[in-house]
Structure 1
Amino acid sequence: MANILNPNDLIQAGGILLVGSIIFAESGLLIGFFLPGDTLLLSAGFFAGTGRLHLLTLLIVTIAAAILGDNLGYTIGKRTGHRIFKKDTGKLFHKDHLQRAEKFYEKHGGKTIILARFIPVVRTFAPMAAGMAKMPHKRFFAYNIVGGTLWGGGVTMLGYGLAKLVGEYINLEKYLLIAVAVAIIATFGGTVGHLLKDKQTRQELFAKFIGRNSQ
């Protein structure tokens, strides 16, 4: 029986169809945030590089699954968001949180959708947040296509290139995890750095920090 958290087991058990299904679930369903999207794509690309999966079919399926999954998450957020955030009470579901989200996506929307693709867990919730914040669907869809293509195609091709360079001579799981860790750290660090360049963002974060420490 395949281990759902082991990308190699998943690929061997279900092939490209299962890879696409998991990418869709991780992108569009809240229950999919724990699934191994990055390592799965890298492993699938590696398998394609060694001739065990068809590269073009894999790319089409993974990119389509990422884009369609994000659109499902956006739709869920748009249809249910205001029911969740309709009250003025409560720390987690206060209406002010939704208003902040709307302002954030108005300013950083496109870049957020693309960059979130490369950050585990965040990519699961970002489309829903965009829907809740009333980000126009045409704008979301355009950036979603870019993000889904860069992530689905780029990470897969990274695994493919790795296979072509080193063949069967490395510990696949060990090196894939290292590659994923480096990619996540670099992307997350770049995202935070970019946001902190904005004066208003820095002021809001500073105000929250001071507020918490003064209580």
Structure 2
Amino acid sequence: MLANIVTDLTNKLDEFSSNWWFLLVIFSIALLDSVIPVVPSETTVIIGGVAAGQGNQSIALVIFAGAFGAFLGDNLAYTIGDKFKGTVQRWAARKESRQDRLDSAGRQIRKRGGMLLITARFIPGGRTILTVSSGVTSQPRRWFVLWIALATTIWASYAGLLGYLFGQTFENNHTLAFWLAFATALSITGLIELVRWLRERRKHAAA
């Protein structure tokens, strides 16, 4: 039963992803996911990559649509944080623990810099928290834009090329290509999060 549902779903995605307007879907979901992390936008970029691997899309356009949508979305998240920073700061000032967390977020962003923005881009939900926090803690806008441009390009290239390579390898099996690419993406994201957790644990142990 579940296998039939999955097969029907991926067949539909195969049909949709072959249309030119699927690039608009990739762009829109990447933008919205930066602000409202409900459905991981990696999924649509991977599907677009699979379609490109099977000759139904341009991999360059798939990567561009994902990167540009994510870039605009991350900047929108920063703007939201910047616009409401007064409200957040007043809310944090009412309780010492809140103020400590807010101050800590600002220090971490300044200390770890752009690499933190790149790493967070691979963590659904985490990237939204960080981009909004960048606005709340008044990080320089130009600095933010430059690093986010790099982060979203790396992220979209990673997801799109995974789908593209698996799409070429399994040209006659869209379902297998998608699920293998998706599982690989999840594994890499999990590995990044595990390495980050181990490093933080080591720092706490040293302290």
TMscore range, shorter length: 0.7 to 0.9
Alignment correspondent of 1:55:
59
SS of aligned partner of 2:84 = helix
TM-score norm. by structure 1 comes to 0.79
SS of aligned partner of 1:168 = coil
Structure 1 residues 157 and 86, CA, compared in 2 at 3 Å: closer, same or farther?
same
Which whole-Å deviations, capped at 9, do the CAs of 1:151-209 have from their partners, x for residues lacking one? 01221011111111222236244323321321121111122234445x4xx169x7xxx
1:26 to 16, 33, 43: 33
Alignment correspondent of 1:157:
161
- Return the offset for 1:96: 2.7
Alignment correspondent of 2:187:
182
CA RMSD, 1 decimal: 2.6
TM-score norm. by structure 2 comes to 0.81
Alignment correspondent of 2:4:
none
Amino acid in the other structure paired with 2:179: K
Structure 1 residues 166 and 76, CA, compared in 2 at 3 Å: closer, same or farther?
same
Cα distance in 2 for partners of 1:39, 1:79 equals 30
Report if aligned partners of 2:77, 2:131 keep a CA contact under 8 Å in 1. yes
Gaps of 5+ in 1: 1-5, 207-215
SS of aligned partner of 1:36 = coil
Structure 1 residues 165 and 172, CA, compared in 2 at 3 Å: closer, same or farther?
closer
Aligned pairs (5 A) from 1:35-184: 35-87=39-91, 88-90=93-95, 94-169=98-173, 171-184=176-189
Specify which structure has the higher proportion of helix.
Answer: 2
Amino acid in the other structure paired with 2:28: S
Which whole-Å deviations, capped at 9, do the CAs of 1:29-62 have from their partners, x for residues lacking one? 2xx2011312221111001111222222222221
Amino acid in the other structure paired with 1:145: A
Q: Which has the higher contact order (CA 8 A, sep 6+)?
A: 2
Report if aligned partners of 1:10, 1:19 keep a CA contact under 8 Å in 2. no
- Return the offset for 1:83: 0.9
Structure 1 residues 18 and 154, CA, compared in 2 at 3 Å: closer, same or farther?
same
Report if aligned partners of 1:39, 1:176 keep a CA contact under 8 Å in 2. no
Cα distance in 1 for partners of 2:196, 2:11 equals 30
Aligned pairs (5 A) from 1:199-210: 199=203, 202=204
Amino acid in the other structure paired with 1:49: G
Amino acid in the other structure paired with 2:189: I
Which whole-Å deviations, capped at 9, do the CAs of 1:62-118 have from their partners, x for residues lacking one? 1111111111111111111231231333588x3332212111111113121100111
Alignment correspondent of 2:6:
none
Cα distance in 1 for partners of 2:198, 2:110 equals 19
User: What percent of counterpart residues are identical?
Assistant: 23
Amino acid in the other structure paired with 1:89: R
Cα distance in 2 for partners of 1:75, 1:45 equals 30
Cα distance in 2 for partners of 1:24, 1:203 equals 38
Cα distance in 2 for partners of 1:122, 1:89 equals 25
Gaps of 5+ in 2: 1-8
